[in-house]
A and B are shown apart, each in its own frame.
Chain A
């Protein structure tokens, strides 16, 4: 079963990428306002995008 020498590292690598994404999401304050995040998709505001970011210096 030499294939496992390939598949297990690839699977672990995919897991590591997932873990990295998870830590990134923790650090970039993705989970600070969960109630608001769930709520905001329900607001349509005319179904148009907001003006590009540079105008609202954040």
Chain B
């Protein structure tokens, strides 16, 4: 892998990792006796390992081939493997967290294993670790293929990918030590947030520079979705994490906003994180890999562009629906509710567009589990966006909010939509990246598909039942006007559903483990297949036909 880098680039990589290692050492010194010091040591080890990995082969052979004649897939490959690693970690944590709710003694009386600490390891592990790595890896793949150009840079893709994973490690290890800003999906403390800003800016610049190199006049719609994901997540992350560190030597900061102001900022961020992290980027995946796998162009390309602009303009107003019946003004709640309902239009346009693309190719969906992953993902996308718009309506929200219904809704989206489209894309891209004809075992892909689908359905039905039961019990009054059920009564009523939820999650987790195994075996398997036309474009005779538009 290192032989694709020149000596100069290896030196640059050493300088970069050396600087990060020094920053880690400084953190370890000033933060000694505090979790920040531990994070300093983690950073030092992470960057130090990279430093020596590169240094070891500093004067190894240089690339001899013309690098501009091939796509740069090494960072994509590592990104896919990291995504699968985080999937196993994050989903495994999820099963444990779910089991703790049914059987609290599974905490084993340790501080680090308490619900409040391992739950964010689950959420960040799957959203940022699994989802984020999958987004970065597939974006590298798609931006190169749709632009017909190589990545703009040989070091910056690695900086983005590995820097992002350092952020994930700092986040997850921090939660176990009790470090949190108590903001959902934005728990990491100030120094991790600053680091993510640096990584994210490099990511954005890399994307724009690669697009600027494109050999294709048109920017394919998937790139627009990825760009919206990168740009909006940057703005949201910066605004929501504005905070004053209590000291530059400790992992503790105070938000720049207070009370209801802080809550409004948080849910402006929180809902748009769902919109632009968990929706826009994954729609980019859908709009590339679904047509590619079905070998048919998207049903209506015009509609895909229209729904892109619809999502971009509607989503950023919807956040206040998380704060119905709170101290925020009524009109702000109504604004959030209205935009949430309007969002149904571009959301269903995308889901319908995906399904219509498959119309006429249902035999492929029947035979190919990879395509079926994508099809079912589009169905769940349609279902959960409908549910989301519905739950944002104030009177519905009065029943659903603060209950397990919300948990069921977010998992219908996260498991049914985000994870299924990701696994489908991974199964589509792995043979292309590693030059194999197919996956190691198509039967294992089938197993994964049915385990994932069964797990999602069990999970979501359990949480719907639990949530509505809970919501109705909370609002039942006796004739004398007092509450009919105590909180403990509702807990007892929820117990069987919590066990069902854990079983659903365990099935989903088992599917992910099978998927990771299948990918590793595909990479290790023989049957290396060089694509027929995989030659450099250096010589005239070998040059592929240039499209007529050129």
Contacts and interface: CB of A to CB of B under 8 A. Distances in A.
Given A3-B257, A14-B235, A38-B291, A45 B544 contact: yes
A42 B291 contact: yes
Contacts of A14: 232, 235, 316
Interface stretch (B183-191, B374-382, B516-524, B532-540): B532-540
A18 B298 contact: no
A34 B305 CA distance: 10
B213 A53 contact: yes
A4 B70 CA distance: 49
Interface string A34-51: 111111111011111111
Contacts of A30: 218-219
Given A3-B265, A31-B305, A48 B71 contact: yes
B545 interface: yes
A49 to B, nearest CB: 5
A48 B70 CA distance: 5
B292 A42 contact: yes
B5 to A, nearest CB: 18
Given A1-B260, A49-B70, A41 B220 contact: yes
Given A40-B216, A48-B534, A7 B265 contact: yes
Interface in B408-425: none
A21 to B, nearest CB: 8
Contacts of A41: 145-146, 220, 288, 291-292, 297
A52 B218 CA distance: 16
A11 B550 contact: no
A39 B260 CA distance: 49
A31 B217 CA distance: 10
B432 A46 contact: no
B547 A4 contact: no
A14 B71 CA distance: 33
A46 B297 contact: no
Q: How large is the interface on A (under 10, 10 to 19, 20 to 34, 35 or more residues)?
A: 35 or more
B535 A10 contact: no
Given A3-B257, A41-B146, A42-B297, A53 B215 contact: yes
B537 A51 contact: yes
Contacts of A22: 309
B268 interface: yes
Interface in A7-40: 7, 10-11, 14-15, 17-18, 22, 25, 29-31, 33-40
Main secondary structure of the interface of B (DSSP, over half): loop
Contacts of A48: 69-71, 533-537, 544
Given A1-B328, A37-B220, A46 B544 contact: yes
Nearest to A3: B261
A50 B288 contact: no
B139 to A, nearest CB: 15
Nearest to B216: A40
Nearest to A22: B309
A6 B312 CA distance: 19
A39 to B, nearest CB: 5
A38 B228 CA distance: 20
Interface string B212-242: 0101111111000000100110010001000
Interface in B340-388: none
Contact of B301 (A18, A37, A42, A45): A37
Given A34-B301, A38-B298, A1 B533 contact: no
A18 B146 contact: no
A15 to B, nearest CB: 6
Contact of B149 (A7, A45, A50): A50
26 contacts: A1-B260, A1-B264, A3-B264, A7-B268, A18-B312, A22-B309, A30-B218, A34-B301, A34-B302, A40-B218, A41-B288, A42-B296, A42-B297, A45-B544, A45-B545, A46-B535, A47-B145, A47-B534, A48-B69, A48-B536, A49-B149, A49-B537, A50-B544, A52-B149, A52-B215, A53-B213
Given A11-B268, A37-B301, 15 more contacts: A1-B260, A10-B235, A11-B317, A25-B219, A41-B288, A44-B533, A46-B532, A46-B534, A46-B535, A47-B71, A49-B69, A49-B71, A49-B215, A51-B68, A52-B215
Interface of A: 1-4, 6-7, 10-11, 14-15, 17-18, 22, 25, 29-31, 33-42, 44-53, 56, 58
